[in-house]
Copies of this chain bind each other. A is one copy, B any other.
Amino acid sequence: MKDKAVAIASGGMDSTVLLYDLNERGFETLVLSFDYGQRHKKELDFIAITCKKLGFEHRIIDLTGITELITSSALTFGKEVPDGHFADLTMRQTVVPNRNAIMLSIAAGAAMNIGSHFVATAVHGGDHFIYPDCRPAFVDALSMAMSLAADDLFTEGAFEGIYSPFITTDKAYIAALGHAMHVDWNDTWSCYKGGEIHCGRCGTCVERREAFMLSGVEDPTLYEDYDFAWEAIEKHKRGEQ
């Protein structure tokens, strides 16, 4: 019998590569995606394709009931998604308060329930500046809390914490790793705006292009705006916003 894993996945490059990684390691994986009212809900269709390819069970958890409580973010309600480099201060508008903690807590509950040793997340080094709940100190503290919540008698000692293999790497590494595992990048979706094709201007489109560029992996993505990313990256290097 295969060991079980639970992973949270969005349909972006990072979580798609994470699923390929778990597949390589031989885990039977329950994949959880979350509908928190994000504009770019179409990412969930993309992760479903990857789950099907890998033979993983996929569930979408409806969290729209809590979206109203955490309305700050431009990713959900009326506000506009900002254009620019993903590490610009303007990107703070895309923070959904405590989103990772909420998703990881639910996934950890599911992991304890099915006897999985861990819950896997694709948070990576590039997320640290903008998203406080993607930083190593946060993930360590939450992992500790979750492992304390998994009482031995209850989970038969199975659950140990959070598996975050990319937490100290950057997205270029993830692109290279995905390339090595033959990930089809057309099965992934990054754009926060959720239009027909990737916009090329929002923080996560810029981040996607930069990851491909730095890793030397070919980027097959169609972008509405091809030039914006390079300008944003150059401006960010010069310290402009």
Contact = CB atoms under 8 A, between A and B. Distances in A.
A113 interface: yes
Interface residues of A, number: 46
Contact of A148 (B61, B102, B132, B149): B132
Nearest to A159: B97
Contacts of A100: 149
Given A132-B150, A132-B151, A150-B97, A109 B113 contact: no
Contact of A154 (B92, B110, B112): B92
Contact of A108 (B98, B110, B151): B98
Max chain B C-beta neighbours (<10 A), residue from A138, A145, A150 = A145
Contact of A101 (B63, B66, B96, B149): B149
Contacts of A41: none
Contact of A69 (B65, B97, B98, B109): B109
Contact of A105 (B62, B89, B98): B98
A133 interface: yes
Given A65-B61, A149-B132, A112 B98 contact: yes
A214 interface: no
Main secondary structure of the interface of A (DSSP, over half): helix
Interface in A141-169: 141-142, 144-146, 148-151, 153-155
A106 interface: yes
A70 B155 CA distance: 12
Contacts of A145: 101, 138, 141-142, 144-145
Interface of A: 32, 59, 61-63, 65-66, 69-72, 89, 92, 95-102, 104-106, 108-110, 112-113, 132-133, 135, 137-138, 141-142, 144-146, 148-151, 153-155
7 closest A-B pairs by CB: A98-B109, A132-B151, A141-B145, A97-B112, A133-B149, A142-B145, A69-B110
